[in-house]
Amino acid sequence: MIDPKIIKLFVKIGSLLDTEKINLMEKFPELSSLDHVNRMGPDEWRNSIKELEKENLIFLVKALAYIEEKLNWCGGSVSSVIWCYNFTSKKYPEIANDLAEWIVKNDRNPYAPTGSGMSNFHVWEKLKLRDIRKENQKLEENLCSLLGSYNFEVFKNSILSEQISKMLKENERKDELNSLKSEIQRKIEENISLNFSIKELKSENRCLKRKEIIHKFKDSSTIEKLRFIASQPDLPLDFFPDEWGLVGEEDLKKLTPEEIEAISERMKAKRKGIWKKLYQTIKEKMF
């Protein structure tokens, strides 16, 4: 099960997306330690959100898609956006198309929202067809009200031959359109491959940087390590080994008030683990 507090946080973020611009890390700093949630499986999500009402499910899905895009959370074909969208669209099929359109516009994950590598392309096709059908239906209703039912049928029959003639001409371009569609699909597949290569490179660089830092400080004292953590606000605490957080009270007394404040600021958003324990120790002892 996913922590209900995390679910509640995502629902809150989703409820704000259509009404205001959000600086995620400024307003919700706790997101810095939650990227692992975006790779949780479908069963965990299903069991955690099955009791949510329709509106809150929509907020949840939108928040996951928005955060995945803005914070570059890694998810790909196993993104939580996919599991939550599939669950929501099956439970409330009447909102599936609108929700899919929102996701495609706000999240560049090529697998969102349905899980297929070509989902964005096909979702746009379906949405375009849906809009065309709606426009045609509205046009027919307006013409019927103007002409009357009988005259409207006569009108439709009178233009049928023109439509057939037009369709025959359009069919002559079938090969050209198919070729164009194939080219679009090829470019989408190339883009998917490029996106994954970039993400893999970023992941490798992150791993190398972590190894370099660990090696550099392997012989350093606990205090030196803590001071380094305090000086690197752009690196999440999960980036550093947990053993760096095993600090005794005597060591903490060696830090200046400014260093204590900087370290506390880094740890206050943590909900569990070694960093949460260290934060509680600092607060209880009032270093």
Most confident of 53-67, 69-83, 101-115, 199-213: 53-67
pLDDT at 48: 96
pLDDT by residue (tens digit) across 129-175?
Answer: 666 667 767 766 666 666 555 455 555 555 555 665 666 566 666 66
- Which range among 11-15, 57-61, 146-150 shows the weakest confidence by mean pLDDT? 146-150
Q: Rounded distance, CA 156 to CA 151, Å?
A: 9
Sign of the alpha-carbon dihedral angle for 146, 148, 150, 151: negative
pLDDT by residue (tens digit) across 233-274?
Answer: 778 877 888 888 888 888 788 888 888 888 888 777 777 788
CB contact at 8 A, 4 and 60: no
Higher confidence at residue 215 or residue 202? 215
Give the number of other Cβ atoms within 10 Å of residue 82's Cβ.
Answer: 26
pTM (2 d.p.): 0.46
Average pLDDT over residues 202-227: 80
Average pLDDT over residues 210-238: 83
pLDDT by residue (tens digit) across 92-116?
Answer: 999 988 898 899 888 888 888 888 6
Average pLDDT over residues 58-82: 93
Q: Is the pLDDT assigned to residue 88 strictly greater than 90?
A: yes
Distances (CA, A) of 120 to 41, 59, 108, 239: 21, 20, 9, 33
Q: Is the pLDDT assigned to residue 202 strictly greater than 70?
A: no
Helix (H, G, I), strand (E, B) or coil at 160: helix
- Angle at the Cα of 33 from the Cα atoms of 30 and 5, rounded to 5 degrees: 55
